[in-house]
Amino acid sequence: MAEKTISNEFTKGLWSENPIFRQLLGLCPTLAVTNAVVNGLAMGAATTFVLLFSSIVISSIKKLIPNQVRIASFIVVIATFVTVADRFLAAFFPDISKALGPYVPLIVVNCIILGRQEAFSSKNPVFRSIIDALGMGIGFTISLLILSSIREILGNGTFFGIPLTGAWFKPWLIMILPPGAFFTLGLLMGIFKYLDKKRK
Amino acid sequence: MNIYTRMIIVLTSIGLISGAFLAGVGTLTKNRIALNKQREINEAIMTVVSGAQISSKIYEERDLAVYKVNNEENELLGYAVYAGGVGFQDKIYLMFGVNPEITRIYSLTVLEQKETPGLGAKITSEKDFLQFWKNRDCTKEITLHKPAVNSPEQLSPSEVNIITGATISSEAVVNIVNLALEKIRALKNEGKL
């Protein structure tokens, strides 16, 4: 692969290597927490935070870590930042922390984060890793926002908790239940694929 | 350096540094998290016993806590009861206020639940569920009124409204309350309240 420019390193997370729509990574939290926009945003922000700081640490100490224990080391570093994010949410945003429930601690096993450490941060310098982590994190957050906006508007008639539709609108309950997550994700993935094909 | 020694040293150091870092974060956030919990309980007490000013925890066991609630003049207004039990998907934690004789429920609020969004989660909705819990006669067991009605006047004094499509969640709340009432009555008879 040819050397990528810094801007490429950033934008690949948004489109060509988008973690949700192209790499299909981290789908469990994606499906589970996108029933409201605020939850999607909080999950995206928490994941980006963990991804960014894990990438900084891993890319700085990559030369010290023996190959045989690299995964274990990555996981310990990731788990540390996840716990920080979890405590921070519980202390300062108790409502969001409650709504996300077990999905914050479960960021530890989000494949996007471990995947980026293994595929990128452990092979690239700190600055590039930061750019990569930001691109992937923001790509993930935007994808969650798209998914949760569709689900919240159709399933609850609100956006960020603000009522959008009048009394005439009967919310599609299924959209905020698990099947709605699968339907929406499937359709969006199809649209993404179609747009990508058209672009080429 | 031997590769095994290096592996041990690296993993141990990472573990130690992470542990120390987390201990710091834990200490910094611990008080605030406890404060959040306390504030939530206090707000709930104010909601379920109107005029509540001073409250103190007088009894606690697993899934049940009783708070004595007084007004500004230090007169006993009643008790706020924190209770938890099995819901449809996970445990439901709620709080309700009763008068000092435990014959009347002032009102009820749900603190924690993970019921189905849009169906069971309506147990937190004032319009669909909570308004029907105001001023219930609890000398008898609380029962559910099926099918759902639109206004509290259509219920008999010891009945509460069911949520259409969420029978299990509605029943769960009623069961938690009835069980808690039974327990606090027993406590009252033992002179512990």
Cβ-proximal residues to A63 (8 Å cutoff; 6+ apart), any chain:
none
Q: How far is CA A40 from the centre of its chain?
A: 9
Q: Which residue has the tokens 């981290």?
A: A26
Would residue B29 count as lying in a domain?
no
Span between the terminal Cα atoms of chain B, in Å: 68
User: Residue A159: is it exposed, middle or buried by C-beta count within 10 angstroms (0-12/13-18/19+)?
Assistant: middle
**Mean of the pLDDT values across residues B64-74?**
90
Determine the pLDDT at residue A199: 82
CB nearest to B11's CB, from A35, A72, A173: A72
Q: Is B192 on the interface with A (CB under 8 A)?
A: no
| Structural domain total, chain B | 1
Q: How confident is the model at residue B51 (pLDDT cuts 50, 70, 90)?
A: confident
Helix B3-48 × helix A70-92 angle, to 10°: 20
CB nearest to A84's CB, from B10, B15, B25: B25
Would residue A96 count as lying in a domain?
yes
Would residue A1 count as lying in a domain?
no
Q: How confident is the model at residue B172 (pLDDT cuts 50, 70, 90)?
A: very high
Among A56, A63, A76, most B C-beta atoms within 10 A, so best to mutate, is A76
Q: Is B10 on the interface with A (CB under 8 A)?
A: yes
Q: How confident is the model at residue B22 (pLDDT cuts 50, 70, 90)?
A: very high
Does residue B79 sit in helix, strand or coil? strand
Domain that holds residue A36: 6-199
Cross-chain Cβ contact A66/B10 below 8 Å: yes
Determine the pLDDT at residue A3: 64
Digit-coded pLDDT (tens) for B84-118:
999 998 899 999 999 999 999 999 999 988 888 77
Can you read off the two tokens belonging to residue B45?
Answer: 């007490």
**Mean of the pLDDT values across residues B48-53?**
88
Cross-chain Cβ contact A91/B15 below 8 Å: no
Q: Is A68 on the interface with B (CB under 8 A)?
A: yes
CB–CB of B175/B106 below 8 Å? Answer: no
Digit-coded pLDDT (tens) for B113-145:
888 877 888 899 888 899 999 999 999 899 999
Cα diameter, chain A: 62
Angle (nearest 5°) at CA A139 between A134 and A143 = 150
Can you read off the two tokens belonging to residue B147?
Answer: 């099918």
Question: Is the predicted pLDDT of residue A167 greater than 80, yes or no?
Answer: no
**Mean of the pLDDT values across residues A151-162?**
88
Domain that holds residue B148: 44-189
Would residue B9 count as lying in a domain?
no
CB–CB of B123/B173 below 8 Å? Answer: yes
Distance between CA A108 and CA A75 in Å, rounded? 7
Would residue B109 count as lying in a domain?
yes
CB–CB of A131/A5 below 8 Å? Answer: no
Contacts of B32 in chain A (CB under 8 A): 91-92
Would residue B27 count as lying in a domain?
no
Does residue B160 sit in helix, strand or coil? strand
Can you read off the two tokens belonging to residue B98?
Answer: 């009763």
Determine the pLDDT at residue B134: 92
Question: What percent of chain B shows pLDDT beyond 70?
Answer: 100
Please tell me the number of Cα atoms within 13 Å of B74 on its side-chain side. 0
Distance between CA A148 and CA A160 in Å, rounded? 10
Q: How confident is the model at residue A126 (pLDDT cuts 50, 70, 90)?
A: very high
| Structural domain total, chain A | 1
Would residue B166 count as lying in a domain?
yes
Q: Is A180 on the interface with B (CB under 8 A)?
A: no
Q: Is A37 on the interface with B (CB under 8 A)?
A: no
Q: Strands B104-112, B136-137: parallel, antiparallel or unpaired by DSSP?
A: antiparallel
DSSP B162: P
CB nearest to B18's CB, from A76, A155, A176: A76
Q: B1 or A65: whose pLDDT is higher? A: A65
Determine the pLDDT at residue A1: 46
Determine the pLDDT at residue B52: 85
Contacts of A68 in chain B (CB under 8 A): 3, 7
Digit-coded pLDDT (tens) for A19-66:
888 888 988 888 988 888 988 999 999 999 999 999 999 999 999 999
CB nearest to A80's CB, from B7, B18, B40: B18
Contacts of B29 in chain A (CB under 8 A): 87-88, 90-91
Average pLDDT of chain B, as a whole number: 91
Q: How confident is the model at residue A95 (pLDDT cuts 50, 70, 90)?
A: confident
Would residue B180 count as lying in a domain?
yes
